Chains A and B, each alone.
Chain A
Amino acid sequence: MPFTRRQFLTLSSVAGAAALLAGCRSPAELLAGLPPPAAWPSGRDPAWHALSRLTFGPRADERAHVAEIGLAAWIDEQLAPEQLDDRPADLRVRRFDILTMDSSLIFDVREANARRQLQQATLLRAVYSRRQLYELMVDFWSDHFSISTAKGDGAWLKPIDDRAVIRPHALGSFRDLLWASLHSPAMLQYLDNHANYRDAPNENYARELMELHTLGVQAGYTQGDVRELARCLTGWTVDQQLFRGQFRFDPAQHDDGAKQVLGLHIPAGGGQHDVEQVFEQLLAHPALPQQIARKLVRRFVADDPPPQLVAAVATTFTHTRGEIKAVLRTLLHAPEFATAPPKFKRPLHYLAGALRQLNANTNGGPPLLEALARMGQPLFMWPTPDGFPDATAAWSGGLLTRWQLALALATNALPGTSIDLDALMRAAGTREATGLLDRLGTLLLGAPLAPAVRGQVAGALAHTGDDRAAYVAALLAAPAYQWR
């Protein structure tokens, strides 16, 4: 018997919000029906499954909250993030002035400092925000419209893109999101459009705008379309002088001749409006809903997106003209979501999840950011504009770096981050090896380890100096913890 109600409640209170638990259905009842981990992860409890997918890691208090209000209501809550009081996260990121500085001041911050502040705030929000689905969508769009802070003025401009492009529209309309990204100085500079001149067009942004941001490489556009779109985008630039870092349309650098993009004739003399016409053309293109749907389904359901679900999500995208909440509703309420196979955690998910589930106290500082980089996900530093990969094969080679982190985290070896092992032990209510492993297993993996494995793990750890830390490390390093 993995858990009593009292034990779960204590564990939950360790993890934060005991007040939320009043009147909830017995979590023991919820957990009792879990299959043995030998069968994991094929038939997990729906709430655990959903929380693993829709948060950076199922905290015990969040599990108790779902048990209380039900999964559907919880999803509704998450789709209305503005209604969720998020002071715990807001307070923790308030000291990062890069998040509010505008471009008239931001360039005074040292480059490495500017980059680190954005990385640190992002990690802290992943760990502490109650708006978990929103933060996951911010993560999704940050990959979709990926910008590396290692290029050009990215370290200063990406924080502005983060708050002016990605965050306002992460659950809004794709139309607004794309429009904002088109005017983003960070994006225009990252993809070299500031050097896209009338007499010397630079195709970089035009190409990625069609290939990565909207239509996909197989959509049937041609090299001619890329060239013509690049002409439309001439003169869309970023000020380098007085108003450094601000968007500017430079008519003197705009190619004002007639153009032909994706079959659309754009008459001469359109100026800045050339792009508006192509924008409508891109939004109306049938490849767009397909491409966005495929990427969303890949992120939330499976590396190989089920075609029927992609079609259903794309249909909602088309009917709602890209309303992201509606698109997500279709996705999250589909049977394919409920029965989705496990997804391999990306490093941010792995780290933030461990911190959440262990109720760590962290400042999200450099030791954690360096660990993320070692695991392969240095935030906002993916070198190419396609964003961090979203497939098991891209990440499964990095187990050792995860084990290193697991050990460091469990032994409180990372400055600025601590977990309260004593409190965890008190909550677990036992120091006896198998009972402790079972309770920590339920906290971290959703279910205890299979008895045979548990026995061997307990045997291997029998003589450690601090067995509590060793147990936590082993569970974070376990194969089951690599999946969500």
Chain B
Amino acid sequence: MLNQRRTLLRVAAYRRVARAWPGWMPRMSFAPYQSAPRGDVLVCVFLRGAADVLNMVVPHGEAAYYSARAALAIPRPDDPRARADLRAIDLDGFFGLHPALAPLWPAWQARQLAFVHACGAPDESRSHFQAMELMERGVDSAAGPASGWLGRHLGSLSTGTRSPLRAIGLGERVPRALLGPVPAAALRSIADFHLGGDARAAEQLRGALAALYAGGDPLDTLGREALGLAELIEQLDPLGYRPAADARYPEGDFGMGLRQLAMLIKAEVGLEVACLDMGGWDTHVAQGGSQGWMAGLLAELGAGLAALHADLAAQADRLLVVVMSEFGRRVEENGGLGTDHGHGSMLLLLGGGVVGGRVYGRWPGLAPEQLVGPGDLAVTTDYRDVLGEIVARRLNNPRLAEVFPGYTPRFLEVVHQRAAVAGSSHSRRSSP
């Protein structure tokens, strides 16, 4: 019943798109995009402000964790003194999920969810801005290309798609990670993506804009892409989108963004990479433990990701979500019941291609002598090891030296090699 309804909706979406298909794209209802050597749709969620990953995936097997965090620690899964719904949810006997991330439990059980703990960047500035910039550029230091790692991925791989929706950033502006030779669009809300005004005036203005943006300047290109995008999205009817019945997106920008991504993914508009930000993680003061400020953020994150996963159950084999943050936070809580800037962070991976149900990475430990800098979790896995593996194995891009110049990723085997697409006449399988 559910599947039937989903299929109907997809067909309806196809019809709408087919009717409106601009000339620069092949007609997808007859020649789906899988015929190009295109990989997963990569959804990159960036937690801005350095999320406290030690309270997201809790090392409940570490006594040092509990001694450093008298107020903020998440109780052990078997802690009889804590209410059951406020304890960590055991993952593997050593790590546990923050209880607010409970909506992700089905994905963990389905082995489509994995974490890479003590993962991060070599940068030790503990500066949000420098760390975010370097991480989004995918480089070690200020030297190196100014473009973003995703921008270079898109620029170094031809998937045969010229869709203006190949790469989008949901938010006010294009994130640094997407900057590169392939124009990426910034969408605040998909439903807002039209010229407005009455239809006639908008139509006339469109004609004028086509003339004004006909030149060869980069801004002309951006203008033409925006026009194409507006035209396409007007046909998609974003306000009419209904997610799968068991998918409940949380209120707010994050849930709304994911919901719109799901619509674009189902509508097969050529989307390959989407970036989405979630802010508010700079929890220096009154961070809270199982409940409170950060728990609220985690609840929104968990519910949003779980809804996307449920909504795209039929497309799970080509969905890959990566959640990252610029660095982690100090192991020891501070006097304001918050945490200061630290070092080691974590990656969350969700999707059909993930070798899930595991926490990856060598755990460096939290005893004082095992910490780095002023008392921080060490980084034992470079984030580019994981992203590089995804780029090679899930996005079919073998040119890792261009995506991560000066760095050779070492794969942890966190994702399956993407299978060649059936029925494809010229699909390429890449080897790392």
CA distance A255 to B100 in the complex (A): 37
Which of A52-60, A64-72, A269-277, A390-398 contacts the other chain?
A: A390-398
The distance from the CB of A187 to the nearest CB of chain B, in whole angstroms, is: 14
Q: Are B340 and A374 in contact (CB under 8 A)?
A: no
Q: Are B230 and A400 in contact (CB under 8 A)?
A: yes
CA distance A117 to B127 in the complex (A): 33
Using Cβ atoms and an 8 Å threshold, which residues of chain B touch A203?
A: 340-341
Task: Name the contact of B335 in the complex, choosing from A195, A207, A211 (C-beta under 8 A).
Answer: A195
Q: Are B226 and A399 in contact (CB under 8 A)?
A: yes
Give the nearest-CB partner of A197 in chain B: B335
- Chain B interface mostly: loop
Which of B53-61, B207-215, B393-401 contacts the other chain?
A: B207-215
Which of B25-33, B216-224, B306-314, B359-367 contacts the other chain?
A: B216-224
Tell yes or no: A482 within 8 A of B by CB: yes
Q: Which of A337-385 contact B (CB under 8 A)?
A: 374, 376, 383-384
Using Cβ atoms and an 8 Å threshold, which residues of chain B touch A15?
A: none
Using Cβ atoms and an 8 Å threshold, which residues of chain B touch A477?
A: 205, 208-209, 212
CA distance A186 to B188 in the complex (A): 29
Q: Are A460 and B204 in contact (CB under 8 A)?
A: yes
Give the nearest-CB partner of B339 in chain A: A202
A-B pairs with CB below 8 Å: how many?
Answer: 162
Interface string of A143-169 (1 = CB under 8 A from B): 000000000000000000000000000
Supposing A192-B336, A204-B284, A413-B197 touch, asked if A478 and B226 sit within 8 A by C-beta, the answer is: no
Using Cβ atoms and an 8 Å threshold, which residues of chain A touch B282?
A: 204
Interface string of B298-324 (1 = CB under 8 A from A): 000000000000000000000000000
Q: Are B129 and A400 in contact (CB under 8 A)?
A: no
Using Cβ atoms and an 8 Å threshold, which residues of chain B touch A211?
A: 127, 129
CA distance A461 to B209 in the complex (A): 10
Using Cβ atoms and an 8 Å threshold, which residues of chain B touch A400?
A: 193, 195, 226, 229-230
CA distance A318 to B11 in the complex (A): 68
Tell yes or no: A227 within 8 A of B by CB: yes
Give the nearest-CB partner of A234 in chain B: B335
CA distance A19 to B185 in the complex (A): 47
Q: Which of B89-143 contact A (CB under 8 A)?
A: 124-130, 142
Interface string of A432-450 (1 = CB under 8 A from B): 0000000000000000010
Supposing A200-B336, A394-B173 touch, asked if A218 and B208 sit within 8 A by C-beta, the answer is: no
Give the nearest-CB partner of B168 in chain A: A397
By CB atoms of chain B within 10 A, which of A192, A397, A460, A474 has the most? A397
Supposing A192-B284, A195-B336, A197-B336 touch, asked if A386 and B205 sit within 8 A by C-beta, the answer is: no
Task: Name the contact of A479 in the complex, choosing from B127, B185, B192, B215 (C-beta under 8 A).
Answer: B215
CA distance A477 to B125 in the complex (A): 41
CA distance A183 to B125 in the complex (A): 26
Q: Are B201 and A396 in contact (CB under 8 A)?
A: no
Give the nearest-CB partner of A230 in chain B: B340
Q: Are A474 and B201 in contact (CB under 8 A)?
A: no
Tell yes or no: B202 within 8 A of A by CB: yes
Which of A172-180, A282-290, A463-471 contacts the other chain?
A: A463-471
Q: Which of B39-62 contact A (CB under 8 A)?
A: 48-49
Using Cβ atoms and an 8 Å threshold, which residues of chain B touch A218?
A: 142
Tell yes or no: A411 within 8 A of B by CB: yes
CA distance A482 to B200 in the complex (A): 24
Q: Are B212 and A482 in contact (CB under 8 A)?
A: no
Using Cβ atoms and an 8 Å threshold, which residues of chain B touch A456?
A: 208, 211, 214
Q: Which of A210-236 contact B (CB under 8 A)?
A: 211-212, 217-218, 223, 226-227
CA distance A268 to B422 in the complex (A): 74
Q: Are A223 and B172 in contact (CB under 8 A)?
A: no
Give the nearest-CB partner of B213 in chain A: A479
Tell yes or no: B169 within 8 A of A by CB: yes
CA distance A218 to B279 in the complex (A): 25
Task: Name the contact of B186 in the complex, choosing from A202, A386, A397, A466 (C-beta under 8 A).
Answer: A397
Q: Are B125 and A217 in contact (CB under 8 A)?
A: yes
Tell yes or no: A201 within 8 A of B by CB: yes
Using Cβ atoms and an 8 Å threshold, which residues of chain B touch A200?
A: 334-336
CA distance A312 to B331 in the complex (A): 45
Give the nearest-CB partner of A408 in chain B: B196
Tell yes or no: A453 within 8 A of B by CB: yes
Give the nearest-CB partner of A382 in chain B: B172
Tell yes or no: A47 within 8 A of B by CB: no
By CB atoms of chain A within 10 A, which of B48, B49, B209 has the most? B209
The distance from the CB of A12 to the nearest CB of chain B, in whole angstroms, is: 26
Tell yes or no: B374 within 8 A of A by CB: yes
Task: Name the contact of A396 in the complex, choosing from B204, B208, B222, B285 (C-beta under 8 A).
Answer: B222
Give the nearest-CB partner of B332 in chain A: A200
Count of chain A residues near B, Cβ 8 A? 58
CA distance A400 to B226 in the complex (A): 6
Tell yes or no: B174 within 8 A of A by CB: yes
The distance from the CB of A294 to the nearest CB of chain B, in whole angstroms, is: 13
Using Cβ atoms and an 8 Å threshold, which residues of chain B touch A482?
A: 219
CA distance A397 to B172 in the complex (A): 9
Tell yes or no: A422 within 8 A of B by CB: no
Using Cβ atoms and an 8 Å threshold, which residues of chain B touch A404?
A: 192, 195-196
Give the nearest-CB partner of A460 in chain B: B207
Q: Are B48 and A384 in contact (CB under 8 A)?
A: yes
Q: Are B212 and A474 in contact (CB under 8 A)?
A: yes
Tell yes or no: A28 within 8 A of B by CB: no
Tell yes or no: B338 within 8 A of A by CB: yes
Tell yes or no: A118 within 8 A of B by CB: no
Q: Are A202 and B284 in contact (CB under 8 A)?
A: yes
Supposing A403-B195, A404-B196, A464-B201 touch, asked if A376 and B172 sit within 8 A by C-beta, the answer is: yes
Tell yes or no: B74 within 8 A of A by CB: no
Q: Are B284 and A223 in contact (CB under 8 A)?
A: no
CA distance A202 to B195 in the complex (A): 47
Give the nearest-CB partner of A192 in chain B: B284
The distance from the CB of A152 to the nearest CB of chain B, in whole angstroms, is: 9
Q: Are B211 and A192 in contact (CB under 8 A)?
A: no
Tell yes or no: B184 within 8 A of A by CB: yes
Using Cβ atoms and an 8 Å threshold, which residues of chain A touch B212?
A: 449, 453, 457, 474, 477-479
Task: Name the contact of B129 in the complex, choosing from A217, A465, A470 (C-beta under 8 A).
Answer: A217
Tell yes or no: A407 within 8 A of B by CB: yes
Tell yes or no: A473 within 8 A of B by CB: yes
Tell yes or no: A199 within 8 A of B by CB: yes
Using Cβ atoms and an 8 Å threshold, which residues of chain A touch B220?
A: 479
Task: Name the contact of A399 in the complex, choosing from B200, B222, B374 (C-beta under 8 A).
Answer: B222
Q: Are A207 and B219 in contact (CB under 8 A)?
A: no
8 A-B pairs closest in CB distance: A200-B335, A460-B207, A195-B336, A456-B211, A397-B186, A376-B172, A474-B208, A397-B174
With A195-B335, A477-B208 already in contact, 8 other A-B pairs whose C-beta atoms are closer than 8 Å? A217-B125, A217-B129, A384-B129, A393-B174, A397-B185, A398-B186, A411-B197, A460-B207
Q: List 18 A-B contacts (CB under 8 A).
A: A195-B285, A195-B338, A202-B336, A217-B125, A217-B129, A226-B126, A386-B129, A393-B174, A394-B174, A397-B185, A403-B209, A407-B195, A453-B214, A461-B208, A464-B204, A470-B204, A479-B219, A482-B219
A interface residues with partner B (beta carbon < 8 Å): 192, 195-197, 199-204, 207, 211-212, 217-218, 223, 226-227, 374, 376, 383-384, 386, 389, 393-401, 403-404, 407-408, 411, 413, 449, 453, 456-457, 459-461, 463-466, 469-470, 473-474, 477-479, 482
